[in-house]
Amino acid sequence: MTSQTTFAARVDTLQIFSASMQKTSQCLVISPDKYRITDKPYPVLYLLHGWSGNFAGWLSEAPQLQEQADRYRMIIVCPDGGYDSWYLDSPVDSTVRYDTYISKEVVSYIDYYYHTIKSPAGRAIAGLSMGGHGAITLAIKHMDIFGAAGSMAGGLDLRPWVKNEWDLKGVLGSPSDFWTNWENASAVVLARQLEKKKLPLIIDCGLDDFFLETNREMHRVLLEMDYPHEYTERPGEHNSEYWGNAVDFQVLFFHKFFEEAGEKP
């Protein structure tokens, strides 16, 4: 573990071994100023990067996260999700197990080495683009681990993208042979599992983003289900300028979630 102090927050760079994938990946952890194990346990926000990104992307594109960790007294964790994993346990490639890695291995590591709230009331997960898809799907599948979720410019429906440069075929298999994999992995399909279950959601997308229609489809599905959620469209494209700003609203949303859960240190 290496660490540095920037602003008031502490930034640790961790090496986390994945038993499910038999490899080690890096992870950033932003702890608030005056973090103490003698305080009440801290809530944790997991932030997932996008396609072709890595664990360091969030801190580079949104350096204000350090100040926000201080202000809201939360720990912010930025794990590495691989180049193009879509945060899935691949049904066609046994070396891709990022669902298991994030939801089980990273969370267990953070809970062991940091003074955290070890319940869904103290854990939230959000992400950008591929990470937005990952955050929503991981939270839906693991509501015993994550208590709230958010997506910024997320690719929330994988099915429209059978012809693209994101190598979804490598994770899900050829759509002509494994179409069920594409359906079962898509957040808009998994959202149907949310009926009568309480998972606070915040979703936003830029008006000039190529993922806008998939976000609108998710919004329509949730409205049809009469499922409470926050949904916002604002000016912006699919770029770091957009999610570097959008993350401020999401962090505030999760801060309020932690406070309402009574878990703020």
pLDDT score for 162? 86
Q: Is 9 helix (H, G, I), strand (E, B) or coil?
A: strand
- 12-60 confidence digits (pLDDT tens): 999 999 999 999 999 999 999 989 888 899 999 999 999 999 999 999 9
For the chain, 265 residues long, the average pLDDT of each consecutive 10-residue run is 57 97 98 90 97 96 96 97 97 97 98 97 98 98 97 96 84 94 96 91 98 98 96 98 98 97 60
pLDDT for residue 163: 79
H helix intervals, 17-176: 57-61, 65-72, 98-100, 107-113, 130-141, 168-172
All domains of the chain in start order, with CATH:
2-260 (3.40.50.1820)
CB 250 within 8 A of CB 152: yes
Residue-level pLDDT at 6: 45
User: Which helix (H) or strand (E) element contains residue 257?
Assistant: helix 240-260
pLDDT value of residue 164: 74
DSSP 42: B
**pLDDT, tens digit, 9 for 90 and up, residues 59-73:** 999 999 999 999 999
What pLDDT is recorded for position 166? 81
Distance CA 109, CA 96 (A): 19
C-alpha R_g of the chain? 17
Distance in Å from the first CA to the final CA of the chain: 25
Give the E-state strand segments of the chain in sequence order. 2-6, 9-18, 23-31, 44-48, 75-79, 123-128, 148-152, 201-206, 230-234
